[in-house]
Amino acid sequence: MTDTPFRLAWFTAYGPRGWDMPEGVFHDWRKPAVYREMSSLLETRGGFDGLVFADTPAIADGADIGTHVEYGLEGISHDPMPMLAAVAGATEHLGLVATLSTQLYPPYILARALATLDTLSNGRAGWNIVTSAGSHTAELYGRDSLPAHDDRYEHADEFVDVAERLWEAWDADAVVMDAGTGIFADPAKVRTIDFEGAYYSVRGPLTLPRSPQGVPVLCQAGASDRGRRFAAEHADMIIVHASSVPLMKEIRDDIRARLVEAGRSPDSCKVFFTAHVIVGETGTEAQALRERLEASPTTSIEAGRAALKATKDGFVIQGDPEHVADQMAETMQEIGGDGFAIRDALLPSFVVPLVDRVVPILRRRGLVRQNYHYPTMRENLLDPHFTAAAVKEQEGIGA
Partner 1 sequence: MTGKRIHMAWFSGHGAGPSGWDDPAMPAGYRWDRPELYVDSAKIMDRAGFDAIVFADTMAIPDTYQGRMDAYLEHAIAMPKLDPAVLTPMIAAETSSIGVVATLTTTFYPPYLLARLTATLDHVTEGRSGWNVVTAFTERAAQNFGMDRLPEHDTRYDIADDYLALCQELWNTWDADAVVMDRAAGRFADPSKVHRMAHRGPYFTAEGTLNVVPSPQHRPYILQAGSSDRGIRFAGEHADLVIATKHTPAQMREFRDRVRARAAECGRNPDDVKVLFIVTPLFAHSEDALRSRRDALLPRDPVAVGLATLSVGFDHDLSAEPLDEPPSAERLGPAAERFRLPDGSMPTLRQAAERQAGWTALPLEGTPEAIATRMEEVVEESGCDGFAIRGRWIPEYVHDVSHGLMAALRARGRVLPPTSGATLRERMAMSVS
List binders of partner 1 among 22-41 (CB under 8 A). 22, 24-25, 30-32, 36
Which lies closer to partner 1 via its Cβ, residue 82 or residue 246? 82
Contact window for partner 1 (CB under 8 A) among 15-23, 240-248, 355-363, 387-395: 15-23
Least Å from the CB of residue 389 to partner 1: 36
Least Å from the CB of residue 114 to partner 1: 9
Contact window for partner 1 (CB under 8 A) among 53-61, 222-230, 307-315, 328-336: 53-61
Site for partner 1 contains 136 (CB under 8 A): yes
One character per residue 184-213, x = contact with partner 1 (rule: CB under 8 A): xxxx--x---------xxxxxx-xxx----
Which lies closer to partner 1 via its Cβ, residue 74 or residue 320? 74
The CA distance from 105 to 245, in Å, is: 36
Which lies closer to partner 1 via its Cβ, residue 121 or residue 318? 121
Helix (H) or strand (E) holding 32, with range, is helix 32-44
Contact window for partner 1 (CB under 8 A) among 75-83, 219-227, 251-259, 387-395: 75-83
The CA distance from 307 to 221, in Å, is: 20
| Closest to 70 (Cα-Cα) out of 338, 331, 297, 315 | 297
| Closest to 276 (Cα-Cα) out of 242, 307, 238, 326 | 242
Contact window for partner 1 (CB under 8 A) among 105-113, 146-154, 277-285, 333-341: 105-113
Site for partner 1 contains 168 (CB under 8 A): no
| Cis omega (within 30 of 0) for bond into 205 | yes
Exposure letters 110-148 (e unless 16+ CB within 10 A, then b)? bbbbbbbbbbebbbbbbbbbbbbbbebbbeeeeeeebbe
Site for partner 1 contains 78 (CB under 8 A): yes
Q: Are 345 and 21 in contact (CB under 8 A)?
A: yes
Applying CB under 8 A, which of residues 34, 41, 54, 88 lies at the interface with partner 1? Answer: 88
* Residues binding partner 1: number (CB under 8 A): 75
Site for partner 1 contains 345 (CB under 8 A): no
Q: What secondary structure does DSSP assign to 258-312, as a single string?
A: HHHHTTS-GGGSEEEEEEEEEE-SSHHHHHHHHHHHHHSHHHHHHHH-TTS---S
The CA distance from 313 to 292, in Å, is: 16
Site for partner 1 contains 72 (CB under 8 A): yes
Least Å from the CB of residue 6 to partner 1: 31
- Which positions from 270 through 299 interact with partner 1, judged by CB under 8 A? 296-298
Least Å from the CB of residue 211 to partner 1: 9
Site for partner 1 contains 140 (CB under 8 A): yes
Count CB atoms within 10 A of the CB of residue 20.
Answer: 14
Applying CB under 8 A, which of residues 142, 263, 304, 398 lies at the interface with partner 1? Answer: 142
Q: In 3-state terms, the chain is what percent helix, strand and coil (to 5)?
A: 45, 15, 40
Instruction: Say how many Å lie between the first and final Cα of the chain, rounded.
Output: 14
Site for partner 1 contains 14 (CB under 8 A): yes
Which lies closer to partner 1 via its Cβ, residue 137 or residue 274? 137
Exposure letters 247-275 (e unless 16+ CB within 10 A, then b)? ebbebbeebbebbeeeebebeebbbbbbb
Site for partner 1 contains 145 (CB under 8 A): no
Applying CB under 8 A, which of residues 8, 41, 81, 342 lies at the interface with partner 1? Answer: 81
Which lies closer to partner 1 via its Cβ, residue 1 or residue 188? 188
Least Å from the CB of residue 102 to partner 1: 13
Site for partner 1 contains 112 (CB under 8 A): yes
- Give the amino acid at 200: Y
Contact window for partner 1 (CB under 8 A) among 100-108, 244-252, 264-272, 357-365: 100-108
Site for partner 1 contains 76 (CB under 8 A): yes
Helix (H) or strand (E) holding 342, with range, is strand 339-342
Q: Whats the size of the chain, residue-wise? A: 399
The CA distance from 202 to 192, in Å, is: 9
Which lies closer to partner 1 via its Cβ, residue 162 or residue 324? 162
The CA distance from 358 to 326, in Å, is: 9
